[in-house]
A and B are shown apart, each in its own frame.
Chain A
Amino acid sequence: MPKYRLHINGSEKVVDVEPDTPLLYVLRDQLELNGPKFGCGLSQCGSCMVLVDGVAVTSCIRPVASLGNSRVITLEGLVNENGKLHPVQEAFVKEQAAQCGYCLNGMVIAAVSLLNENPNPNEAEIKDALQVNLCRCGAHTRIISAIKRAAGNQ
């Protein structure tokens, strides 16, 4: 199996996997990260999102071989070295923006990606940015509030 040198959450990781293995499986299975979740394997629900060079993308169908030198940040990587939460993570806790929380990873990642681009999004822009992300519990309105709160706290 070929070796891949990946930049994950600020450090370099070498993984030994088949080239077609989607990034999600490398993150969860090899690197034992919990943030990105398997939801559909079809890039339809956003549960598996990570930041690749600062932009939210799904990781469930993206082959590890295609990553090159890209920087990958997962939900774990948003917490700073002192354990302090990212403003978006903090806002999700404050707004209690979850029920089961399975989609939360993708929601937080998509929100961070949005705020990187647009620090002051309006409600329509927030909804657009999260269009890929499915939530079945119906926590959407709390998620929107959390992103507004995070934007205000940045």
Chain B
Amino acid sequence: MFELPKTSRRKFLQKIGYISVGFPLLGMVLGEQDPVMAARENFQGTLPGSLRGANRVNAWLQVLEDGRVMIFSGKVELGQGIRMAICQVAAEELDLELDQVEVHLAETGLTPDEGYTAGSGSVPNSAMSVRYAAATARQKLLELASLKLKTPVKDLIFYNGKVKTKNNNQSLNFAEILEGAQIDLEVTVPIPVKVKSGYRYVGKAIPRKDIEKMVRAEELYIQDLRFPGMLHARVLRPKGYQSKLVKLDESGLSSQVSGVIKTVIKSSFIGVITEREYQAVKAERYLKANSEWSTGTDFPDQNYIYTHIRSIADPPQTIRNEGNANAELNGNEVFKATYTKPYLKHGSIGPACAIAMFDGDILHIWSHSQGIYPMRRAIAAMLKMDEEKIHVIAVPGAGCFGHSTADDAAADAAILALAYPGKHIRVQWSRQDEHYWDPYGSAMIMELEASLDENGRIKAWKSEVWTDSHSMRPNNDPATLLDSRYLENPVELKDRGYLGGGHRNADPYYSIPNMQVNAHFFDGPLRVSSLRSLGSYTTIFSIESFMDELAEKAGKDPLEFRLAHLEDERAIAVIHKIREMCDSEFMKDGEGIGFAFSRYKNTAAYSAVAAKVWVEKASGAVVIKKLWSAVDVGEIINLDGITNQIEGGMIQAASWTLKEQVTFNQNGITSSDWASYPVFRFNEIPEVKVAMIDRPDLPAEGGGEVSMPPTGAAIANAVYHACGKRVYDLPITTEKIKSA
């Protein structure tokens, strides 16, 4: 059985016996050397957004009966290691052993509402909120202990969960100090935080605790949860986006498939509940073979998708305009290039799964959604239920990379649980549904124009970007959930979600006196939402490919050309570092190296990537031999965790760059599985090297997305240096290299 987190509802400490002052609690502490106490300094800066939403210490931190600490975070574990990062930060501020900290991740009614786990925002928001809450708690615990122990704070030692007097005669753990209460105190500056030089955990490569659980096959994933009497279900998805159910003949279902408990039909929503899982697979297959759907999906010809996108785009909006780019570009020698990127899949290895149970009053949902509170709002709106009657518990699934189908599976399970109360209903999606109904990363076009001055510096720059939305994540609008569109009284999407993600990084980070960025938003044919790094992968692929082209026109070395346009020391440092990393790399015939740089969102972490490729002249086949990345995320929380993210980001982006595109014809999506949507397999994996530049005194930025944007351009530039061919249209395939 799945063990629920130790406090499945907000539980305050039992009043525990207060041990009289003066009695040494643990014999073993006697004679121990006093630990060196790290100095503290007052933090006076701006508190993270998450703390503004939940500003009390006890929203983030509670002391358990045994004196250990439970941390609450509204973020979810996606394989990025946030649980360990938060544990490190809390243990650091409270001078605890890592095992003395438990981290309870997102659960409605229990943890803060931190929206989505997305945008490389968990460290700067959640981990930093925990830091300030823990530091505030430490201060309060010291003050209370001082009163109880009748000893001035300066004569106390605060270490490993105990507050002791310096002469070692008296000691209290946190629970004894609080006597059953929690710290209901506002987190407000100034906050005495530990000085960075005193860190025991932060910045170190601390191994994650969950990997051992993974190798032992412990219950860890939502797919592993088993409840007594739990039933299984599948949902028969419509034939296409716009299809409606015309006819369903379920008369033979029970005789053909054993274990069928209930078929739930609500307009074009069809779910089937069975005793065992494989029975649900067979039942769905039967229902599919015995149903008729209207067609109605009318996709454009994929060969002309970019022409189609241009034809449906809204009039452009100017996003940024400095100097006078138009005037400078007019009449001067202008360089132009157009780059295109197809729809991409998230490609989670585990198709969506969800469990729901309606107990007659509360609808409980277990989900691997990236945002349980916003998802709850959407499910409440879809079901016309009071939000407070829905309880959502985040449980890890497979890596999902933006906005997966987890929320849609949760909606499926919710509908079925209400139709069959009292039982846990487990919904598992098929691979094909996962591929067909994924909210893809938008196809995009980027047109660039630039002119150079007499010294070979960029004088004027214009970016025109065509993009669909980059977030249709669930929110108050129920139509963000698929099921809402197929139930009785279907609802259509009210708005277009987060369009701004499409022009993320469309304005180069370089110093250019005349710069204009225009965005052409379109409402495209395929279902789209957030895919890791949003528009930045495309905008940086374009900008950094173009920078290499401009460098060549100016007769400059590509890295020198970039450096000549950068003023930010941190940007310059990652470029110097990447050059140093591959300085001694030897290039054989047919091999080439390419570079790219970006500062994610132009405000967050810095990354320079180098790629070494080999292009086979005759066939145009590309092999990526090696990828390097030099990254600055500011303060590092977990060195191994961030390195893992950077490595994985490069490999995933390399797979996008060489292999991936969602395919479709006029009737629907044709990328139905891993054969029709191939991604990197082991024989395509390059060697990867990561160098992290630690800046402990600068704010900690997230790193989940930062290596992805420059990777595509570094590969394109490397291909150019290897064979003299430049590919503008992603993915960079053998055929395109041959015909370039």
Interface residues, chain A, CB within 8 Å of chain B?
A: 1, 17-18, 21-22, 25, 28-30, 32-35, 37-42, 44-45, 47, 74-76, 79, 85, 89-90, 92-93, 96-105, 108, 126-128, 130-131, 133-142, 144
Contact = CB atoms under 8 A, between A and B. Distances in A.
B78 A25 contact: no
How extensive is the interface on chain B, given as a class?
35 or more
The 10 tightest CB contacts between A and B, nearest first, are A100-B79, A138-B651, A138-B648, A102-B398, A100-B399, A99-B79, A35-B217, A101-B214, A89-B215, A40-B431
Given A29-B276, A44-B674, A108 B79 contact: no
Contact of A74 (B208, B217, B644): B217
A127 B651 contact: no
Contacts of B36: none
B218 A34 contact: yes
B652 A92 contact: no
Q: Name, among B226, B650, B682, the residue most crowded by chain A CB atoms within 10 Å (CB to CB).
A: B682
A12 to B, nearest CB: 20
B675 A44 contact: yes
Q: Is the interface of B mostly helix, strand, loop or mixed?
A: loop
Q: Is the interface of A mostly helix, strand, loop or mixed?
A: loop
A79 B640 CA distance: 26
A56 to B, nearest CB: 14
Contacts of B214: 92, 98, 101, 104
Contact of A140 (B218, B431, B685): B685
Contacts of B674: 40, 42, 44-45, 134
B644 A99 contact: yes
Given A102-B399, A104-B215, A40 B673 contact: yes
A34 B679 contact: no
A49 to B, nearest CB: 12
A140 B210 CA distance: 18
23 contacts: A33-B217, A34-B224, A38-B351, A41-B281, A41-B430, A44-B431, A93-B212, A96-B211, A101-B79, A101-B210, A102-B221, A102-B348, A102-B349, A102-B397, A104-B215, A131-B681, A133-B682, A136-B398, A137-B652, A138-B651, A139-B644, A140-B680, A141-B647
A105 B347 CA distance: 18
B673 A138 contact: no
Interface of B: 78-81, 207-208, 210-212, 214-221, 223-224, 226, 232, 258, 276-278, 281, 347-351, 396-399, 401, 428, 430-431, 640, 644-645, 647-652, 655, 673-675, 679-683, 685, 687-688
Contacts of B223: 28, 34, 37-38
Given A102-B349, A102-B350, A136 B397 contact: no
Contact of B216 (A1, A18, A28, A85): A85
A76 B398 CA distance: 19
A82 B390 CA distance: 43
B706 to A, nearest CB: 14
Given A39-B351, A134-B681, A28 B215 contact: no
Contacts of B277: 25, 28-29
B276 A142 contact: no
B276 to A, nearest CB: 6
Given A98-B79, A99-B80, A138 B215 contact: no
Nearest to B278: A25
Given A89-B216, A93-B211, A138-B651, 20 more contacts: A21-B278, A29-B277, A38-B223, A39-B431, A40-B674, A42-B674, A90-B215, A96-B207, A98-B79, A99-B399, A99-B644, A102-B79, A102-B399, A134-B674, A135-B349, A137-B648, A138-B652, A138-B655, A140-B680, A142-B644
A34 B219 CA distance: 7
A97 to B, nearest CB: 8
A47 B218 CA distance: 15
Contacts of A40: 351, 431, 673-674
A108 B351 CA distance: 20
Nearest to B206: A96
A93 B81 CA distance: 14
A30 B211 CA distance: 25
Given A28-B277, A40-B431, A140 B221 contact: no
B493 to A, nearest CB: 27
A18 to B, nearest CB: 7
A105 B218 CA distance: 11
